[in-house]
């Protein structure tokens, strides 16, 4: 956190030629209280999922956790579509997701035999 204060202050941003040299803590201070609580709640979700991934790695293998990480791409796309967020459906993104999912499926089918 101290490193962030040093490297992201307004003087450094201004020296780098940024258009709006406002430090992150100044911008955060201007947020409404509801937005701050939502920001903290989002961090809590990340913490919960990170602990779950660490716990899963201890129970199984890093490969199995990697497969779970690959499979979560589809629900993320669906949630983005439901909430009308931008979903990148470019050919490279679709091909990358398809290869990742295909690799996960092939590994899972080979591991069960």
Q: Is residue 85 helix, strand or coil?
A: coil
Q: Taking the domains of the chain in order of start, what are their residue ranges?
A: 61-113
Written as six digits, the tokens of 48 are 């919960």
pLDDT at 38: 87
Tally the C-alpha atoms within 13 A of residue 16's C-alpha that lie toward its C-beta: 13
pLDDT at 75: 77
Q: What is this structure's pTM?
A: 0.42
pLDDT at 26: 79
The pLDDT tens digits along the chain (113 residues) read 677 666 666 666 667 677 766 767 778 888 899 988 988 888 887 787 777 777 777 777 777 777 777 777 777 777 777 887 777 778 988 888 888 888 878 887 887 77
Q: Is residue 1 helix, strand or coil?
A: coil
H helices then E strands: how many in the chain? 7, 0
Q: 10 and 23 in contact (C-beta within 8 Å)?
A: yes
Closest CA to 106 of 78, 58, 57, 71: 71
């Amino acid at each position: 956190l101290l490193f962030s204060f040093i490297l992201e202050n307004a003087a450094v941003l201004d020296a780098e030629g940024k258009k709006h040299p406002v430090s992150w803590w100044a911008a955060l201070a201007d947020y409404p209280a509801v937005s701050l609580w939502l920001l903290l709640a989002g961090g809590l979700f990340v913490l919960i999922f990170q602990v779950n991934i660490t716990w899963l790695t201890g129970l199984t293998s890093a490969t199995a956790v990697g497969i779970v990480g690959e499979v979560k791409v589809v629900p993320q796309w669906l949630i983005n579509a439901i909430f009308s967020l931008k979903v990148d459906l470019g050919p490279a993104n679709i091909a990358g997701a398809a290869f990742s999912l295909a690799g996960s499926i092939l590994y899972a089918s080979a591991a069960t035999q």
